């Protein structure tokens, strides 16, 4: 049976969710969209106290929310640990409330775990990185709620590759990811 023949409920039962914040969600979304086993990536807000925040409210830094990506993935094709390894390599997990020129709590490094197994995996990986000398400051919190960002933020890089931020920040990050993880790309799997 092809994925297109499966119902949404069957696909949801066969998949898991990962919710990650590592700076601007425009940078994270296109990376994870290219990973084999990732079925859907949405950008949004999580980790704060305000219900249904707007982009402007989150950008104020007063809602407690971070910009995040919510990733639906097939654990038979890509593990949660694999996604975390990619996550830790595509952003700077050593700077609190900052990714490059993006500054504020909404840009913090954050993993919102969905179950005890995910928590254990991220704790183990963070400990391994610290043992290697990487001073990880990534916050680890239980997932509570995800607020989908406004529609113009969804697939932003794909829709706006010529925008200044996309060319200067997103495109180089995506190129670095593609070079490092070539074997994990959907394009590589389709060519095989």
* Residues marked as catalytic: 24
**Residue 43 in contact with residue 146, Cβ under 8 Å?**
no
Rounded to the nearest 5°, which phi and psi values hold at 170? Answer: -70, -50
Residue 130 Cα to chain centre, angstroms: 21
Place of tokens 């913090």: 108
Buried residues in 132-165 as b, exposed as e (16+ CB within 10 A): eeeebebeeeebeebbebeeebbbbbeeeeeeeb
């Amino acid at each position: 049976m092809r994925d297109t023949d499966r119902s949404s409920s069957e696909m949801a039962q066969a998949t898991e969710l990962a919710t990650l914040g590592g700076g601007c969600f425009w940078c994270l979304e296109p990376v994870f969209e290219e990973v084999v086993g990732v079925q859907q990536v949405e950008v949004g807000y999580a980790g704060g106290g305000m219900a249904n925040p707007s982009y402007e409210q989150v950008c104020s830094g007063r809602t407690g929310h971070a910009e995040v990506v919510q990733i639906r993935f097939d654990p038979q094709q890509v593990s949660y640990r694999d996604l975390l390894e990619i996550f830790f390599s595509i952003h700077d997990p050593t700077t609190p409330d900052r990714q490059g020129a993006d500054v504020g709590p909404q840009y913090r490094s954050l993993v919102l775990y969905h179950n005890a197994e995910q928590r254990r995996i991220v704790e183990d990986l963070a400990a391994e990185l610290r043992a290697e000398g990487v001073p990880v400051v990534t916050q680890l919190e239980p997932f509570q709620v995800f607020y989908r960002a406004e529609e113009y933020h969804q697939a932003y890089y794909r829709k706006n590759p010529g925008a200044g931020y996309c060319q200067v920040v997103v495109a180089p990050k995506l190129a670095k990811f593609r070079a490092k993880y070539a074997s994990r790309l959907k394009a590589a799997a389709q060519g095989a």
